[in-house]
Chain A
Amino acid sequence: MKTESKLEKVLASGALAVTSEVGPPRGAIPERVRQKANLIKDHVDAINVTDNQTAMVRMSSWAAGVIIKQMGLDPILQMVTRDRNRLAMQSDIIGAYSLGINTMMCLSGDHAKFGDHPMAKGVFDLDSIQLVQTVQKMRDKGKFQGGADIDTPPKMFIGAAANPFADPFELRVMRLAKKVKAGADFIQTQCIFNLDKFEKYMEMVCDRGLDKKVHLLAGITPMKSAGMARYMKNKVPGMDVPDEIIKRMAGVSKEKQPEEGIKIAIESIERLKQVKGVHGFHIMAIEWEEKVPQIVEKAGLFPRPAL
């Protein structure tokens, strides 16, 4: 075991892991973090805490992570390279680890243009792959990115993101390989709607033997409505929503659409469970956390292993 991470233990046990996420509030409202975490706490192994998601200012991910930790749960600290340079990120990693956080996700982050501070300077001192390298170097070599020794290094279980659907498709597996080479222990993918394409991607992943080197959690997002499906297809960069899904959503009455969305999510999980290399699921129920338990239960992923 590289770390104390519960997620690492679950994955090492061979069980399918389940993670979900909590977006910190846009204000000093710690109760909001607790409320959201409470909704999902019994149904997931660890909880991603997003870092200024969609480039909007929110409670810092490590602070919200600490709140979740204090509840006796397991936060996954998300960290984007957009907002901090390598000094700030490393000090936050040490700080978070000192407060009990042992799992993190290394991301570059959405461009500031999409958020509420489009006039901000994007930092991008490191990119996501270099952040993975940095965290691994801190953990395994006990050294800072700059080379100096760390007195008692933070031991983080390292995650990274993958989008199997962004162009060019042929590059996606190579990019995953780069993240693995950099030191990623687990991967959470972008929301998967195009299962055929994802299965093809996973075949390529396994062909290269990457499934032996990294735990891949498939991203699942239940859709609330046909409108949301259309929006995701057309407006969210790098998202692949097949027309059949939109048709299926639009094919039922408006009141029934949320139910249909959840059904699709559950069916997706059932199908992806069979896919070689998929070691778990990351359920992103955007502003719909209360549905996570239902999805986890109906998809046969409940109860969660007690470790």
Chain B
Amino acid sequence: MITAEQKPLNEILDYISPYDRIILVGCNECVTVCAAGGRKEVGLLASALHLNFLKHGRTVEIKEITLERQCDPEYAEELVSEIDRTDAILSMACGCGVQTIAARYNEKPVFPAVNTKFMGASVSQGIWEEKCQGCGDCLLGITGGICPVARCSKHLLNGPCGGTSKGMCEIAPDVDCAWCLIWERLKALGMEKRYEEIMEAKDFRAAGGGGPRRIIRKDLSL
């Protein structure tokens, strides 16, 4: 899933302080799961904003709405009934959601309230780690189910580099060396031979080097 973290409050306040009526819009999917922009966080942020404005003697109307999926135009429609009564939109979804809202409500300023971080997975309660960079040409089938693109600090396709130490990456003693993990896994699977096959230079067009990427499914499009 996509992970995110709330922006510093000051930055959010800088964005929205010119406005008196705001829609604070969360998303029920990824950002709910990583507790950055779901219904609960929308409530908390709204409350924090209220406190701040009250301190300055201002009452700002903050309408809290959490959409099922903010990156889906169908759900973005749900703001229609509110949009005329608002001055600005503050989105707690990932960048995809923010942009979907911005594209739909052209005439209102839309601000992000979170920093979208990475595609990752929860490794334990409250901890998420980057797992995939959407390279467009998945290698997991030949790397033992461990991604060298996202998890090797140098994105090496033929690792490990000389910096690995006790199974950890040279950049920090608490970051696993992806290539040590790959090797261990290949061994466990009896696929040591595969390691000696050279992985050719990657075609980065699939990874976004060819400009913004797009998926077209004729069978699904209208």
Contacts and interface: CB of A to CB of B under 8 A. Distances in A.
Contacts of B57: none
B195 interface: yes
Nearest to A161: B162
Nearest to B157: A127
Contacts of A237: 162-165, 170
Contact of A126 (B162, B192, B195, B201): B201
A133 B202 CA distance: 13
Interface stretch (B79-87, B91-99, B148-156, B212-220): B148-156
B74 interface: no
Interface in B142-180: 153-167, 170-171, 180
Interface residues of A, number: 34
A130 B160 contact: no
Interface in B179-193: 180, 183-184, 192
A182 B157 CA distance: 13
A122 B154 contact: yes
A5 to B, nearest CB: 24
B196 interface: yes
A182 B170 CA distance: 24
Give the bracket for the number of chain B residues in contact with chain A.
20 to 34
Interface stretch (A163-171, A197-205, A271-279): A163-171
A217 to B, nearest CB: 15
Chain B interface secondary structure, helix, strand, loop or mixed? Answer: loop
A245 to B, nearest CB: 18
A171 B160 contact: yes
Contacts of B154: 82, 108-109, 111, 122, 124, 127
B183 A238 contact: no
A166 B196 contact: no
A111 B201 CA distance: 19
Contacts of A109: 154
B176 to A, nearest CB: 12
Contact of B195 (A86, A128, A174): A174
Interface of B: 153-167, 170-171, 180, 183-184, 192, 195-196, 198-201, 204
